[in-house]
Amino acid sequence: MPVPRPRFVEAGRRALLPGVLALLMGPALAEARPVFRSVLACTAADGGLTLVETGRMAPGCRPVALPVPLESVRWTTRLDRSEPVTRDRIVVGGTGTGATFAPASARFEPAPGPPGRPAPLMPGLGLIPQLAARTFGTEERAVLTRTDEAVTLACRAGTRPSGLILDPGERRMPDVADLRLHWAAAGDVGFAAAIVARGGSAESGTRIAGDFTATDVPGEAALRAAPLFVVTCPEVAGTITLNDLRLVGRAVAPPPARSAWAWRPSRWRDGPQLLLDEARAHRLERLFVTVEVAEDHVTEAAGLAAFVAAAHRAGIAVVAVEGDPGMALANGRAVALARLAALSAYQHAAAPEARLDGLQYDIEPYLLPAFAAEPEAVFRGWAETLDALTAAKPPFPLDLVLPFWLADNPSAHLVMPAIARAAARLTVMAYRTNAAEVMRAAEPLLAWGAAASLPVQVALEAGPLGDETTRLYARAASGPLWIVPQAEGDALLVLLHQPRAAAGDARVYALERESVFAGARVSFLGDHARVEATAVELAAGLSAWQSFGGLAFHGLID
């Protein structure tokens, strides 16, 4: 069979020009024209791209024109267009720094969008350190003093409204949270407290006296968007100290359910009792485990059944975990459905005490290399997979693992309806190590879950995790990052081992800055004492959302 000849628009002609020009006009002009190499760009199953020497055409490969030697290319990916829509800068994400930087994704720098929503005030956490304090009133009879944790208001006698305003600035009340405001105050009687919208009247409020009282947070949109906390003076002289102010859920919530992942099948297969003992030590009510599937059946089904039954006797539910970014693509979707069929067969055949309590899908398709170039296509594929899983009528409830940013993503509308159709519960990866940041990350999906009547568990990361690096490249005369337009209208992005000056139609970018996001901000890195302390803080705050369905821990169990 003859070897197909790669087809290039202009590539072959350009490759001949330098030799002809060298004969006619001398070497100087010839060297100024680029030599375009004929190579193949081959797409892997996960969407990654590799460049290889031209040879026999293979599935997933196409000819491309490259104006630099193939051996000079360190890394490549495909961009869905050769020209930026707005800002002509390239963002490359990866790991490592300096010479050890390992790129993984790239995209044009997005244009600055509209200002994001103000950050919410988080439930369960003391507000006083976060609030600016000032007095109000025409008689100047109010005087305040403050420390980091308390505010004291001293009032002289008078009849005109005066008092204290505690101002959160641009911060707002959290969405869809059922809240009370707890005031912890000590001092003279007669003071009044209120929550008012910015610009509203501070004259009315709920009386506070003694050491502790609470005020329901009204649901008015204006107040939720721009609240002020006000303490008004009585007509007689008096002093009061506000020792604490915090938002809490209206209802007294039970301790949150606790779940954890045990990824290695050997944990339940080879040491089931050790795993269950460890789960009890961490007060876990649910384990997410990996189940091995071969062809059309669960391998070691008898061992799995024995483990599930033992877990149930110990009061621990068992949920099988599935998921791979490739499941958002056509080939991966077929694999997902085949594995679901095998797990469903196990479930139908198992005795009641050995049946799985659910199936969790941790797909994370945004990790595909194709996501940077075509996020909407990947989201549509994700939605197709979820709808296909739903149509298969699985015999157990589905739990979908989602990134915290999904609900606020511009393309979320492409996948969120499918999530609502498929899921019986959600798990949001709010991977941060500060309680306020965890709640801030989880808030959009907690609010969405409340609207969709879906429980949402909030996941924390405790395992080993490296730093994440982002590089910003800007247009330059010489640099290591090149955009090479292709005849089909898209472009190759190539990172070279060494900077080079531009050649042909390629556009060149030089490194402008490198930023590192520390892994310690995302993971507790094995500090179990800190995990537990943060979990206590979160239990108090997250209970304000009726959708809150517990905490899940990644990396707590090896």
pLDDT digits (tens, 9 = 90+) for 106-140: 888 887 777 888 999 999 999 999 999 999 987 78
Three-class SS of residue 201? coil
Domains of the chain as residue ranges with CATH: 11-113+469-517 (no CATH), 128-249 (2.60.120.260), 258-467+518-554 (3.20.20.80)
Three-class SS of residue 137? strand
Exposure string of 401-418, with b = 16+ CB inside 10 Å and e = fewer, is: bbbbebbebeebebbbeb
Q: What is the model's pLDDT at position 203?
A: 60
- Least confident among 26-35, 81-90, 139-148: 26-35
Q: Give per-residue pLDDT as tens, 300-330.
A: 999 999 999 999 999 999 999 999 999 999 9
Radius of gyration of the chain, Cα coordinates, nearest whole angstrom: 30
Q: What is the model's pLDDT at position 2?
A: 35
Q: What is the model's pLDDT at position 16?
A: 35
Quick check: 459 pLDDT over 80?
Answer: yes
Q: What is the model's pLDDT at position 490?
A: 78
Looking at every residue in the chain, the average pLDDT score rounds to 88
Q: Give per-residue pLDDT as tens, 358-383.
A: 999 999 999 887 787 788 999 999 99
Q: What is the model's pLDDT at position 8?
A: 28
Q: What is the model's pLDDT at position 359?
A: 98
- Provide the percentage of residues in the chain whose pLDDT is more than 90: 66
Residues forming a β-bridge with 510 = 474
- Least confident among 12-21, 89-98, 200-209, 229-238: 12-21
Q: Give per-residue pLDDT as tens, 134-190.
A: 999 877 899 999 998 999 999 999 988 899 999 999 999 999 998 989 888 999 988
In the numeric block, which tokens belong to residue 268? 């339940």
Quick check: 338 pLDDT over 50?
Answer: yes
Would you report the helix, strand and coil content of the chain in percent, each value rounded to 5? Answer: 30, 35, 35
Instruction: Using alpha carbons, select from 135, 165, 163, 143 the residue that is nearest to residue 226.
Output: 165
- Provide the percentage of residues in the chain whose pLDDT is more than 70: 90
Exposure string of 327-337, with b = 16+ CB inside 10 Å and e = fewer, is: bbbeebbeebe
Quick check: 14 pLDDT over 60?
Answer: no
Q: What is the model's pLDDT at position 81?
A: 74
Quick check: 230 pLDDT over 60?
Answer: yes
- For residue 176, the one-letter residue type is V
- Least confident among 1-15, 462-476, 536-550: 1-15
Q: What is the model's pLDDT at position 66?
A: 86
**Higher-confidence position of 503 and 228:** 228
Residues in the chain: 558
Q: Which residue has the tokens 């200002």?
A: 115
Q: What is the model's pLDDT at position 20?
A: 36
Quick check: 467 pLDDT over 60?
Answer: yes
Q: What is the model's pLDDT at position 542?
A: 94
- For residue 133, the one-letter residue type is A
What is the average pLDDT across 32-56? 75
Residue 303, burial from CB neighbour count under 10 angstroms (0-12, 13-18, 19+)? middle
What is the average pLDDT across 54-74? 84
Q: What is the model's pLDDT at position 207?
A: 53
Exposure string of 268-293, with b = 16+ CB inside 10 Å and e = fewer, is: bbeebeebbebbeeeebebbbbbbeb
Tell me, what DSSP letter sits at residue 546? T
